[in-house]
Structure 1
Amino acid sequence: MNLSNLLMMNVTPSESPTAPQVLGIDLGGTAIKLGRFTQDGTCLQTLRIPTPQPATPEAVLVAMVAAIAEIDAERKAVAIGVGTPGPADATGRIARVAINLSGWQDVLLADWLEAKTGRLTVIANDANCAGLGEAWLGAGRWYRNLILLTLGTGVGGAIILDGKLFVGHHGTAGELGLITLSPDGPPCNSGNQGSLEQYVSVQAIRRRTGMEPDELGAMALAGDPKALEFWQQYGQDLGAGLASLIYVLTPEAIIIGGGVSASADFFFPSVQAEIERRVLPSSRAGLQLLRAELGNQAGMVGAAKLAWQLL
């Protein structure tokens, strides 16, 4: 049975009573998802609980500790990885900011969880966790060097170099959606102007068309020429942004996830064509453009991989 089936069915396969395990936790604005994993990536159990509202650090910690006790009552997990909706510090200890959570500023989340649970803990940005998850068990499992872009409300990113997550010396590398695509483009919340996010995020699609991505996808599937034209232009914009990233990182694979990726069949061809037009063959030799495989479980899976890397 594959990972996605295990996650959906919440089944517990046979397991060695002494084999070490870890917990992967994806902390989101509406839900906290937990998974218990073996070293080969087998998911033994999952749990989903609502994120407390307001989601203060103290309330979230209490909820997480209770959920950890529930999913690992026998205390088989020896380490915990947590993906948070915002940047962590380079050491994986401090949640510097958590987007859409109340009162999160330089929260010592790893220290708190270690003190409450007695387990080694590490944290990372949720997009970085998603990239690590896809690299471990998803679309990137055959590659050592890859990048992930999540096309959602914003555009998240992750960089995997030589099989390891690259976060830079301050822990904030990989903000791939914030690179400049057009110097005179729409302003970005980051302070940039004309960032890639302003052309390929869900919010950008709404601004440009007045429609939702799934509506445009359904129209394209029905052969609507305006929707098909939009997705072609969308792919060209995304391909132009990816061209810059390819020249810098020369990845083996680019993985595209997030809600907009549901329409990948309509924009991947123009992404590929734009990359081929803009990037020298020597910089894109063997490059694979792939759709993410783990869906909204990627962050939890990647957080578990982070935990394994502690050991």
Structure 2
Amino acid sequence: MHSLEVIGVDLGGTAIKLGLFSADGILLQKQQVQTPQPATPGAVCIALVEAIEALDPDHRALVVGIGLPGPMDVRARVARVCINLPGWEDVPLADWLEPRLQRRVTLANDGNCALVGEAWKGAAQGCSDVVMLTLGTGVGGGVMLSGRLFTGHNGAAAEPGLIGLDPNGPPCNSGNSGSLEQFASISALRRLWDGDPAELATLAAHGDAEAQAVWSRYGTTLGVGISSLVYMFTPEVVLLGGGISGAASHFLPSLRKEIQQRVQAVSREGLRIEACALGNGAGRLGAARLAIERLTRGETR
């Protein structure tokens, strides 16, 4: 009898990242495939089946965790909505996948997965109160309180990227206007500076004053949004993940300064704000961890 192995999947708007893990979180194999365009539920389902079978043709892993950009139902089997993917509304993805894969499947919000991954093996190890933001195509995230994932009364919490920041701001796919996502995503950064975020980071690193000023503005606005989250949850650490977090050294100074000005000292006592430690691997690792917790110990929540 081989020891337990598990598959973790991070489904994003542009890429699907998969990993085959041991029960103690060691990455045994990994794979990345492009997300079908348009990323309709049927097309994504087929792509997931093909990618999972290619990663683990011998069925060494009998449980699969999948992180998706949006909230799940309480039983973690239905994707309620994925606001930046077309046609995703109440998609019973676990029910579709299980007979095709002959493996048990659990679903989770991708921000929650990244947070669980960082708490297991990354920058939130040993912390019990954590807020995480993933800064990418959209802005996702998760909240951990007293060591447990906070998912709210019907499984849809937490969506820190969708809190309101400016009532007159740009419209958001969520129905909100001026949400934090509209000021902190890749497209928001492009509104400040017309070009690739990686290029902007390179320019700032080489001392370009204009690039540094753009990052400073970005950090200030993000700091306004995070201030509200700090008041709400008073975490030990705020973690920043997603593609933009690679440039954190350029916008953390203005972000921290903003929080210091806006948040009372008692609410930010001992607060750390830092980039994630696991980079893009946190999501699939956390999805694997949730699959172990839910599907090998009989938990549904």
- What's 2:133 paired with? 149
Aligned to 1:184: 168
CA distance in 1, matches of 2:178, 2:40: 33
Q: Partner of 1:168 in structure 2?
A: 152
Give the secondary-structure state (helix, strand or coil) at the position aligned to 1:275: helix
Q: Tell me which of 195, 198, 201 is aligned to 1:217.
A: 201
Out of 225-234 and 60-69, give the one that drifted further: 60-69
| Structure 2 counterpart SS, 1:157 | strand
Q: 1:9 — aligned with what?
A: none
Q: Corresponding residue for 1:12?
A: none
Q: Aligned AA for 1:117?
A: L
Say whether residues 1:21 and 2:1 are aligned partners: no
Distance 2:222 2:88 in 1: 32
Residue in 1 that maps onto 2:78? 94
Measure, in 2, the Cα distance between the counterparts of 1:100 and 1:188. 10
RMSD of aligned Cα (Å): 2.2
How many residues matched? 295
- State whether residues 13 and 137 of structure 2, in contact with CA within 8 Å, keep that contact through their aligned partners in structure 1: no
Cα distance in 1, alignment partners of residues 124 and 106 from structure 2: 22
Partner AA of 1:48 in structure 2: Q
Deviation at 1:101, TM superposition (A): 4.7
Do the aligned partners of 2:84 and 2:173 also contact (CA within 8 Å) in 1? no
Name the structure 1 match of 2:53: 69
Cα pair distance change 1:195/1:61, threshold 3 Å:
closer
What displacement does 1:258 show? 1.9
The structural deviation recorded for 1:234 is 2.0
Q: 1:137 aligns with which of 121, 124, 129?
A: 121
Give me the whole-angstrom Cα distance separating, in 1, the residues matched to 2:135 and 2:23: 29
Give deviations 1:226-274, integer Å, cap 9, x for gaps: 3222222222211121111011111111111122222211211121122
Between 1:39-48 and 1:50-59, the stretch displaced more is: 50-59
SS of aligned partner of 1:140 = coil
What is the aligned-residue identity percentage? 52
- Corresponding residue number in structure 1 for 2:299: none
Report the Cα distance in structure 1 between the residues aligned to 2:16 and 2:196, rounded to whole angstroms.
26
Which whole-Å CA distance do the structure 2 matches of 1:100 and 1:70 have between them?
A: 27
Moved more, 55-64 or 34-43: 55-64
Aligned pair in 2 of structure 1 residues 272, 100: CA closer, same or farther (>3 Å)?
closer
Which residue identity does 1:83 align to in structure 2? Answer: G
Contact 2:17 2:31 in 1 (8 A): yes
- Distance, in Å, in 2 between the alignment partners of 1:88 and 1:263 is 30
1:104–1:231 CA distance, 2 compared to 1 (3 A): closer
Asked whether 1:263 is paired with 2:268, we answer no
The amino acid of 2:229's aligned partner reads L
**Dislocated runs of 4+, deviation >6 Å:** none
**Which residue in the other structure is 2:230 paired with?**
246
Distance 1:270 1:30, change over 3 A: closer
Assess if the C-alpha contact under 8 Å between 2:79 and 2:107 holds in 1. Answer: yes
- Structure 2: distance between partners of 1:262 and 1:271: 15
Instruction: Give the TM-score normalised by the residue count of structure 1.
Output: 0.86
Separation (CA, whole Å) in 2 of partners of 1:66 and 1:218: 37
Deviations 1:147-180 (A, max 9, x none): 1111222211111223332221232212111212
Unaligned runs of 5+ in 2: 297-301
Q: Provide closer, same or farther for how the CA distance between residues 19 and 99 of structure 1 changes in structure 2, counting only shifts above 3 A.
A: same
1:68: how far off?
Answer: 2.8
Please tell me whether the aligned partners of residues 7 and 18 of structure 2 are also in contact (alpha carbons under 8 angstroms).
Answer: yes
How far the C-alpha of 1:100 sits from its partner, in A, is 5.5
Q: Is the 8 A contact 1:90 1:168 kept in 2?
A: no
- Comparing 231-240 and 251-260, the one that deviates more: 231-240
Establish whether residue 82 from structure 1 lines up as the match of residue 66 from structure 2: yes
- For residue 105 of structure 2, give the secondary structure of its aligned residue in structure 1: strand
Q: Report the equivalent of 1:4.
A: none
In the superposition, relative to structure 1, how do residues 266 and 31 fare at CA in structure 2: closer, same or farther (>3 Å)? closer
Instruction: Rate the CA distance shift 1:100–1:233 in 2: closer, same or farther, 3 A.
Output: closer
Q: Is 2:169 aligned against 1:159?
A: no
Unaligned runs of 5+ in 1: 1-16
The residue aligned with 1:302 is 286
Q: Which residue of 2 aligns with 1:43?
A: 27
In 1, distance between residues paired with 2:34 and 2:168? Answer: 41
* 1:175-234 deviation digits (Å, cap 9, x = unpaired): 111212233333333232322222222212222333432333222222222322222222
Question: TM-score with structure 2 length normalisation?
Answer: 0.88
